[in-house]
Amino acid sequence: MKKILFITTRNPFSGRYSGDVIRAKKFIYFLSRDNYVKVLSPNFQNVKKRESKFNYEGFSNPSLISKVFYIFLSLLKLQPLQLGYFYSPKINEYVKDNYKNYDLIFFQSFRAAQYIPKNLKKNSVLDMADLVSKNYEQTSKRLFFFNPIRIIYFIESLLLKRYEKICFKTFKKILLHSKKEINAVDKKYKKKIIQYSFGVDQIKKKYKFNIKNYKIIFIGNIKYAPNRNACFEFTNKILPLICKIYPNVEFHIIGEISKIDKFFLNQKRNVKILDKIDNLDPHLDRVICGLANLKISSGIQTKLLTYMSYGIPSVCSKQVIENFDTIKDSKISFYKNNEEMIKLILKLKRNKTFSLSASKRALKTIEKFKWNKILPFLNKVLI
């Protein structure tokens, strides 16, 4: 049995539909089966006692003024601004005072990497998951040239790229999703990298073809810029063209969303905002397809796994599939441009044989992505 200190910058038990939150919870439960795990996280007040199969220490988030100060401090240190936003002096102090009492320190996301003690000689693991610098670089290139947010994304991408290099140099082991991104890493760090995939809990055959199906769904955190951009682009450019042919088709957005984006999207015809929901099942009847139309994509898009776990046909951009190397050979439908996307959606709407075949492929592919098959990879980090 090992003593593990698990550090995360978001509450793993918040119920938030976000990849890092879901992974953190799964990792904690798996590691705590045969090891002593101490979890550090902000906002732990939502943890239920029945979930306490481990020890945890919860810290309140710094005030907004403090966050602004830490963001400014990060900029002075030439560190990503996100580090300042997610920084907790109390977590930093706890790690500094107690890290020697643990055999392994697990840092969940690059934002938690800032807490690594200097000259740490113990086993250190960083769940980087994706190369976020590439994501921010893509985002900055797609924004309007004179948009001030473009400048922020560009600067952050440079700071992230610099910080990721420091992480590869510092940590004993790094966890990454995509083989494509692993190939982009300096060769001298390849031995440190462990590749793994995201997973799903259950597989349910929910999809049923019907010519009267009318929902196109999008699942994800809409506060995340690539998801937000994908939803607005589909709503503004694609949905109106589909509705000219099928006026009753609706676009259902499921996930956390800002009030201002919710307001503007609600003004659009045939768009329904469902926010974050606890149970997807009641909302998956009469579905034509699940949408993964991101033009900015890194690592694994968990929405795609969710669609497949219900047997729902997916409509994916080429960018999503290219980063998802573990399903490239599964014949999951993807498109290269808007015209191809529309044709694919209409074919799934009209063609029973094509739709049921896509559903069958999805259910077959998702079998290898069940968490109970994926999580044993964590045994490698304990060595």
> pLDDT tens-digit profile of 151-202?
888 899 999 999 999 999 999 999 998 888 888 888 899 899 999 988 998 8
Q: Global pTM?
A: 0.85
Q: Coil, strand or helix: which one is 353?
A: helix
Cα dihedral across residues 207, 209, 211, 212: positive or negative = negative
Q: What is the pLDDT of residue 194?
A: 93
- Sheet holding 55-59: strands in order across? 55-59, 36-42, 3-8, 104-108, 123-129, 173-176, 193-195
CATH fit for domain 215-369, picks 3.40.50.261, 3.40.50.720, 3.40.50.2000, 3.30.2010.10: 3.40.50.2000
Distance CA 139, CA 311 (A): 31
Measured between its terminal Cα atoms, the distance across the chain in Å is 12
> pLDDT tens-digit profile of 250-284?
999 998 899 999 999 999 999 999 877 778 888 89
Locate CATH 3.40.50.2000 in the chain.
215-369
Distance CA 85, CA 234 (A): 31
Radius of gyration of the chain measured on its C-alpha atoms: 21
Q: Please say whether the structural domain 3-196 has been given the CATH code 3.40.50.
A: yes
Q: Evaluate whether 68 touches 33 at the Cβ level (below 8 Å).
A: no
pLDDT band at 49 (very low <50, low <70, confident <90, very high): very low
Residue of 23, 29, 24 lying closest to 54 (CA atoms): 29
Helix (H) or strand (E) holding 175: strand 173-176
Residue of 216, 228, 234, 226 lying closest to 256 (CA atoms): 228
